């Protein structure tokens, strides 16, 4: 059921979407609290407890009929499996980047992601894009080349996050009308359960599982990782139903900005001149992208037909 657009619903939508991006922005600090747990154990716990949290929500909201309806459609199930694989790659790379001192590089991935999503729309969905969007894409590509050549390192964390989340967004767009946010996350977590169990077995036989062995506080934080995963996704879904994607497009840069500031100001990650130059070029691309969104939104308001009275 569609939601009528009013100033109140739009304000609520901004609050939901802003809250989601705010939570995503502080995720690096949350995952650092889970040390000495390693990235493989953390992601496995994230999958297991996300699934448990979704099961509880489905029970409370009586959403089992939606899940059953989706499970009767093999094609939809296949899409949710692909979405699960993509979000797993995104989660795993993000946690590895966070725990190995590359929070700044993770922010780079999410700065580029909206621009890369537009590029995927062109080549996969055959969408037509505006001139300024092409300019933003070209500038972002120059930034990646500068970082690789000048900084002397391939930004695999950033590009992996960009690719996995960008393609994940395409899959969610494909199945969006048929799969609600809670059902989608539940099924994605369900597909990942075997992977999570195998990871925990391997961790248990190598470095050892930390869950339940460090402190009650650490155990609580590990269990709460499921809530931290699910809540922003559900808030994001609620926000996108109430506000235009143009607004979403501008709000989403809150996350990489917070991650960048966390890496530089709190974690004191190195930022040599070459990296500053690369990021400056990325920010120019982002600025061009946002200007294009604003111009498109204003044009849309001008040509919107008047209501019939």
Q: What residue spans define the domains of the chain?
A: 7-303
Q: Is 220 exposed, middle or buried (0-12, 13-18, 19+ CB in 10 A)?
A: exposed
Q: What is the pLDDT of residue 308?
A: 37
Q: In this predicted structure, what is the pLDDT of residue 219?
A: 95
Q: What average pLDDT does the segment 225-233 reach?
A: 89
Tokens of 186: 């539940």
Q: Please give the average per-residue pLDDT across 17-29, as a whole number.
A: 91
> Does 37 have pLDDT greater than 60?
yes
**pLDDT band for position 299 (50/70/90)?**
confident
Above 70 in pLDDT, residue 303?
no
Residues of the chain with pLDDT > 90, as a percent, come to 49
Least confident of 36-45, 51-60, 161-170: 161-170
Predicted local confidence at residue 305, as pLDDT: 46
The pTM of the full predicted model, rounded to 2 decimals, is 0.87
Residue 1 has pLDDT above 60, yes or no: no
**Sign of CA pseudo-dihedral 38, 39, 43, 46:** positive
> Long-range CB contacts (< 8 A, 24+ apart) of 264-272?
264/104, 266/29, 267/28, 267/101, 267/103, 269/101, 269/102, 269/103, 269/104, 271/104, 272/151
> What is the pLDDT at residue 104?
93
Amino acid 307: pLDDT: 38
């Amino acid at each position: 059921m569609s939601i009528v657009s009013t100033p109140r619903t739009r304000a609520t939508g901004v609050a939901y979407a802003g809250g989601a991006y705010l939570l995503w922005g502080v995720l690096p600090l949350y995952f650092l609290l889970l040390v000495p747990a390693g990235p493989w154990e953390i992601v496995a716990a994230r999958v297991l407890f996300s699934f448990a949290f979704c099961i509880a929500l489905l029970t409370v909201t009586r959403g089992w009929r939606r899940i059953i309806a989706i499970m009767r459609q093999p094609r939809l199930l296949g899409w949710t499996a692909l979405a699960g694989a993509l979000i797993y790659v995104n989660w795993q790379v993000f946690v590895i980047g966070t725990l190995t001192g590359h929070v700044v590089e993770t922010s780079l991935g999410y700065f580029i992601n909206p621009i890369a999503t537009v590029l995927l729309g062109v080549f996969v969905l055959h969408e037509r894009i505006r001139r300024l969007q092409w300019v933003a894409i070209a500038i972002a590509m120059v930034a990646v080349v500068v970082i690789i050549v000048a900084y002397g390192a391939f930004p695999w964390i950033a590009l992996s996050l960009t690719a996995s989340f960008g393609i994940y967004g395409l899959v969610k767009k494909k199945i969006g009308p048929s799969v609600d946010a809670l059902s989608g996350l539940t099924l994605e977590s369900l597909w990942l359960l075997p992977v999570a169990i195998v990871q925990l077995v391997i961790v248990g036989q190598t470095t050892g599982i930390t869950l339940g062995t460090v402190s009650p506080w650490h155990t609580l934080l590990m269990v709460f990782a499921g809530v931290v995963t699910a809540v922003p996704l559900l808030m994001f879904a609620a926000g996108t139903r109430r506000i235009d994607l143009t607004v979403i497009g501008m709000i989403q840069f809150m996350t990489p900005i917070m991650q960048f500031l966390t890496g530089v100001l709190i974690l004191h990650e190195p930022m040599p001149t070459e990296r500053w130059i690369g990021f400056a070029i990325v920010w120019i691309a982002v600025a061009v992208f946002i200007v294009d969104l604003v111009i498109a939104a204003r044009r849309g308001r001008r040509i919107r037909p008047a209501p019939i009275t």
